[in-house]
Chain A
Amino acid sequence: MTHTFAALGEFGDAINFIFSSRENQRGAPVGGSHNLPLIWEHLKLCAVAMAAALVVALPLGLVLGHTGKGSFLAISTSNVGRAVPSVALIALFIAFLPGSPEFLNVTLALALLAIPPILTNTYVGVQQTDRDAVDAARGMGLSGYQIIRSIELPLALPLIFGGIKTSTVNVIATATIAPLVGVVTLGDPLVAFSVYGREGQIGASIIVAALAIAAEVGLSAVQNAVTPTGIKLERGAEGRARARFGLTKRRIQTAP
């Protein structure tokens, strides 16, 4: 029983750390508003990495899915990508590009991490669009680009967003180990125990978890906003829950 109270006490200290700043021994003010630069750096890193990944993976996935070519590439990147440890990716860039700035190295590693889920999900989403709809559109004289834009993309949105959500959460998670190589994100309290203390470690973890959940919820809201009403109406409550986490039936397996 005392162990549980001790644990609750530690969580209490952690919440305190998030909201009030304090002087940790000599110098080094931490906690409270001093968490903001950490949060900012974390978000900056994730935003740049995700932007880079989207710019590469979305168009590629759309084109490959539309033409049906490159299915091996699109599917295998996900399988291999899932297995590559994030630490190894970051380590690879540090080891092979020691002279380049840390921020660039980590951004590249994170972008590489983020590409596979987006690429595979976009490809599969477009690939599995109802062929009748596409044929009808072609019969109506729509060009390839128009078909992608007005038919395949809207219908593939749940899957595409599923991929974007997975990538975003992965990137937020991996950005926590960036401080080991010099990019001071929210992971700093996790690795520098002596500067932030136990309450700092737990406090930062809470913020990271909250960030990930906020990103997930935020992206779901965006998905809801951009999905055409007609497609949304098809589903009920159960369908919406399933769509959010990808429990719809698909022939090809993708990550949630």
Chain B
Amino acid sequence: MRTPSVILAAALAALSLGIAACGGDDEKSSESAATPAATATEAPSGQIVSNPDNAAIALKIGSKNFTEQKVLGEIYAQGLKAAGYDTSTDLNLGDQDTALAALKGGQIDAYPEYTGTALTAFFKKDAADLPKDPQAAYEQTKELFAADGITAFPPTPFTSSNEVAVTQETAEKYGLKNISDLSKVADQLTLYGSPECRKRMDCLLGLEEIYGLKFKKFVPVDVAQRHEVLSSGRADVSIVFTTDPQITRNKEVLLEDDKGMFPPYNPTLLMKTETADKAGADLATTIEEIQKPLTDDAMQELDARVDLDKKEPAEVAKEYLQETGLVK
């Protein structure tokens, strides 16, 4: 009779020890007060060189909740790690408001935001006031963020805009070429978009106010399903992104933004200014190096490797850095 009780007591004790041993949460990253003295010299091939002084700087890179964001987050994290920084990731945070809140609250140190999204969703610019030129859009974004104590690094070469997409059949059936063509038939069509689309001027709200469209129904779904809903026939219209590989594969038709509702969207890495200052000169140069090969075609290829080939964002980011010679 004694043995089972002893074993039982021992088991309980072991469980309790196990709980105590298994630690708690990760704390958010802390930054060192030291600034790296020298900048890294570059190898002639354009490869990122590791600067040991950067190892004291810990950077947590976040991202929003769709493929392109996750790939970008991984590219920045791995690229900066190659430059010697102590990087970690906290990807897939949620929509733009969640990500910005995480940045401001210190949960992450940086994440890539689109200039257009920042201007319309954060700074509430009217469509009429939106700059058409990507560089002008970036300058405006940079100024507005600087007032908030956030640095917006120079943008990537590629641009990935919100687009209104329909299937080829739908386009032919209703003779759709521009978004304004939808005004005659919108009350027969169902629009699918991300949950935050409902309150964004560069999404449903803009379609309603600028184009005066009144859809039969708006259904919010997770942004990852934006093409599936079109191809399965549940959606008549969907909001997609320019760099999505599914557009060419599924032969979707993108409607022209004839009233100029969509601003330019170039990703710019956002970081709190005090964090950026402590990270030293390598930060800005490395970010620029990382971004240079990111053309429209390149980004679409990377998205395709995740969405179509079903590879992991981390793996795809590594391939990008290796194929462009940034990392050995």
Stretch at the interface among B2-10, B194-202, B296-304: B194-202
Q: How far is the CA of A40 from the CA of B299 in the complex (A)?
A: 43
Stretch at the interface among B38-46, B150-158, B227-235, B241-249: B227-235
When distances are taken between beta carbons in the complex, the residues of chain A under 8 Å from B97 are 193-194
Interface residue tally for chain B (C-beta within 8 Å):
27
The smallest beta-carbon distance between A27 and chain B, in angstroms, is 5
When distances are taken between beta carbons in the complex, the residues of chain A under 8 Å from B231 are 98
The answer on a CB contact under 8 Å between B220 and A182 is yes
When distances are taken between beta carbons in the complex, the residues of chain A under 8 Å from B219 are 102, 182, 184
The answer on a CB contact under 8 Å between B232 and A194 is no
Q: Which of A26, A27, A182, A195 contacts B192 (CB 8 A)?
A: A182
The answer on a CB contact under 8 Å between B199 and A99 is no
The answer on a CB contact under 8 Å between B234 and A101 is yes
The answer on a CB contact under 8 Å between B195 and A27 is no
Q: Is A229 an interface residue (CB 8 A)?
A: no
Select from chain B the residue with minimum beta-carbon distance to A101.
B234
State the majority secondary structure of interface residues on B: helix
The answer on a CB contact under 8 Å between B124 and A194 is no
The smallest beta-carbon distance between A213 and chain B, in angstroms, is 27
The answer on a CB contact under 8 Å between B201 and A192 is no
State the majority secondary structure of interface residues on A: loop
The answer on a CB contact under 8 Å between A192 and B220 is yes
Q: Is B222 an interface residue (CB 8 A)?
A: yes
When distances are taken between beta carbons in the complex, the residues of chain A under 8 Å from B212 are none
Q: Among residues 55 to 100 in chain A, which have CB atoms less than 8 Å away from a CB atom of chain B? A: 98-99
Chain A residues in contact with chain B, CB under 8 A?
24-28, 98-99, 101-102, 179-182, 184, 188, 191-195
Lowest 9 A-B CB distances belong to which pairs? A192-B195, A194-B97, A98-B232, A194-B196, A28-B199, A182-B221, A182-B219, A99-B232, A180-B222
Chain B residues in contact with chain A, CB under 8 A?
94-98, 121, 124, 192, 195-196, 198-199, 201, 205, 208-209, 219-222, 225, 228-229, 231-234
Interchain residue pairs with CB less than 8 A apart (28)? A25-B124, A25-B199, A26-B124, A26-B199, A98-B234, A101-B234, A179-B195, A180-B222, A181-B221, A181-B225, A182-B192, A182-B220, A182-B229, A182-B234, A184-B219, A188-B195, A188-B220, A192-B195, A193-B94, A193-B95, A193-B98, A194-B97, A194-B98, A194-B121, A194-B196, A195-B195, A195-B196, A195-B198
